[in-house]
């Protein structure tokens, strides 16, 4: 099936249709006016530690940029280079983002105007922003700069309380099951995965929606997740980290990736989907298809290095990519059943393609090994023949008559 060259830009816009209708839309949806995708800038621990950025980056509804800003995991030179390359240098370019995620980001990595941009972008332009807990977030003491004196603190739904390092974590407890973001995830099934190893001490403002807290045993409870609409935008605060530093157990939850994706959608103002299980299943099939295509491409590179022919694989890969695009198109149109069917077909095609790739690789490898065997065997036989001629037959030596040892007279 042929696709129009602008399909990659037209189809994402269709994703808006199923979400704009119905109640629960508290604010205008902010997204790329051309592609329809929500543009996310993830600032902080996007490298050096397991984090949700790779999952966000694979989500078709999102367009993501990573800016490294965590001194715990990155060298300061790496951070400065990342800011030069990926952090917008003007306010107008900064507004090309729809959601800002500050995940364990060091305050000193930013320029002064960046804080003002984030505040003005939320209040005046409808940006979404969240600060996720970590050693370099909020106002945790222990050698890291506090965010409390910045303009960002003025738009968050919480009050930052200076806290000693390793402030206690706890077990997650949902306070508002009817909250739009909370109801988009199966928190009732989180079980033992709803445990965090540490948190920052933040207190919700009076007008904030406190939707979850952490139970700390004999220490009582501490706020975990809160949000509010402020100005034209929306901000959230999460007291605990979602990387291994504090979220090692939480990261094992099957819906960890969906938690991050839905948070980005919610911050941008998109209405959460109703058919939760089917949406999550579609997302998983999409990720599996993407990973399968990546593995096949790696196999094709090996085949090319071996000198094998990938002509058959090229046609199979074209069919596989077409199946994936059909799944994406259905996903954008909220045709979840159609998306599942297309991704199932794509995964089946991926298995066939991988089996063919393995066969071609083995065939190419066989001729390499056979050629090497012939060379080694031929060289050995030639060397053996020369050795036999020289040392056994001695054909290069002239025969001489029998000699006797004679005494020489002086």
Cα→Cα distances 29→10, 232, 326, Å: 18, 11, 25
Name residues whose C-beta falls within 8 Å of residue 162's C-beta, 6 or more positions apart in sequence. Answer: 139, 140, 141, 146, 148, 201
Tens digit of each residue's pLDDT (9 = 90 or more) over 134-191: 989 999 777 789 999 999 999 999 999 987 666 678 999 999 999 999 999 999 999 9
- 268 or 389, which is more confident? 268
Distance between CA atoms of residues 93 and 125, nearest Å:
13
- 264 or 312, which is more confident? 264
Q: For residue 385, with 0-12 CB atoms within 10 Å meaning exposed, 13-18 middle and 19 or more buried, which class applies?
A: exposed
- Does pLDDT of 14 surpass 50? no
CATH 3.40.50.880 fits 7-274, yes or no: yes
Supply the pLDDT for residue 48. Answer: 84
Q: For residue 333, with 0-12 CB atoms within 10 Å meaning exposed, 13-18 middle and 19 or more buried, which class applies?
A: middle
- 66 or 388, which is more confident? 66
60 within 8 A of 54, measured Cβ to Cβ: no
What angle separates helix 311-332 from helix 276-306, to the nearest 10 degrees? 160
Q: What is the Cα Rg of the chain in Å?
A: 31
Q: How confident is the model at residue 373 (pLDDT cuts 50, 70, 90)?
A: confident
Give every strand in the sheet of 128-132, ordered side by side. Answer: 62-68, 38-44, 99-103, 128-132, 233-238, 221-230, 209-215, 168-174, 195-198
Distance between CA atoms of residues 167 and 356, nearest Å:
54
Supply the pLDDT for residue 398. Answer: 60
Distance between CA atoms of residues 363 and 309, nearest Å:
10
- Does pLDDT of 313 surpass 90? no
Supply the pLDDT for residue 410. Answer: 57
Supply the pLDDT for residue 164. Answer: 67
Strand-pair category, 38-44 with 62-68: parallel
Q: Average pLDDT in the 23-40 region? A: 79
Q: How confident is the model at residue 405 (pLDDT cuts 50, 70, 90)?
A: low
Supply the pLDDT for residue 400. Answer: 60
Closest by CA position to 303, among listed 357, 367, 383 = 357
Q: Which segment of 46-55, 187-196, 368-377 scores lowest on mean pLDDT?
A: 368-377
Closest by CA position to 70, among listed 54, 57, 83 = 83
Distance between CA atoms of residues 173 and 159, nearest Å:
20
- Does pLDDT of 255 surpass 90? yes
Dihedral angle, C-alpha 22, 23, 26, 29, nearest 10 °: -10
Closest by CA position to 39, among listed 236, 265, 237 = 265
20 within 8 A of 29, measured Cβ to Cβ: yes
Query: Hey, is 409 helix, strand or coil?
Result: coil
């Amino acid at each position: 099936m042929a696709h129009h060259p602008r399909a990659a830009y037209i189809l994402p816009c269709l994703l808006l249709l199923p979400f704009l209708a119905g109640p629960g839309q508290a604010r205008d949806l902010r997204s790329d006016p051309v592609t329809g995708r929500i543009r996310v800038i993830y600032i902080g621990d996007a490298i050096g530690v397991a984090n949700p950025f790779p999952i966000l980056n694979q989500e078709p509804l999102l367009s993501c940029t990573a800016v490294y800003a965590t001194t715990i995991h990155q060298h300061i030179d790496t951070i400065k280079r990342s800011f030069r390359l990926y952090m917008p240098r003007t306010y107008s370019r900064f507004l090309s983002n729809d959601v800002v995620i500050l995940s364990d980001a060091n305050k000193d990595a930013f320029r002064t105007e960046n804080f003002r941009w984030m505040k003005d972008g939320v209040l005046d332009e409808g940006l979404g922003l969240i600060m996720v807990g970590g050693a370099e977030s909020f106002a945790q003491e222990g050698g890291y700069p506090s965010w409390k004196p910045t303009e960002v603190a003025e738009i968050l739904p919480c009050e930052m309380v200076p806290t000693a390092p390793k402030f206690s974590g706890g077990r997650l407890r949902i306070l508002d099951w009817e909250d739009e973001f909370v109801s988009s995830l199966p928190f009732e099934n989180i079980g033992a995965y709803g445990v965090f190893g540490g948190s920052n001490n933040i207190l919700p403002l009076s007008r904030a929606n406190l939707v979850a807290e952490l139970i700390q045993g004999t220490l009582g409870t501490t706020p975990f997740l809160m949000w509010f609409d402020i100005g034209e935008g929306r901000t959230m605060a999460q007291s605990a980290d979602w990387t291994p530093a504090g979220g090692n157990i939480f990261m094992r939850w099957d819906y960890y990736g969906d938690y991050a994706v839905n948070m980005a959608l919610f911050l941008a103002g998109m209405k959460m989907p109703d058919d939760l299980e089917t949406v999550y299943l579609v997302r998983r099939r999409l990720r599996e298809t993407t990973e399968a295509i990546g593995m096949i491409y790696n196999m094709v590179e090996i085949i090319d290095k071996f000198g094998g022919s990938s002509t058959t694989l090229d046609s199979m890969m074209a069919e596989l990519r077409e199946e994936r695009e059909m799944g994406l198109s259905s996903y954008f149109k909220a045709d979840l059943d159609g998306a599942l069917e297309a991704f199932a077909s794509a995964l089946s095609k991926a298995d066939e393609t991988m089996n063919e790739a393995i066969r071609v690789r083995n065939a190419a490898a066989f001729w390499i090994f056979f050629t090497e065997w012939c060379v080694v065997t031929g060289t050995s036989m030639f060397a053996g023949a020369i050795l036999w001629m020289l040392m056994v037959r001695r054909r290069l030596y002239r025969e001489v008559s029998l000699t006797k040892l004679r005494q020489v007279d002086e």
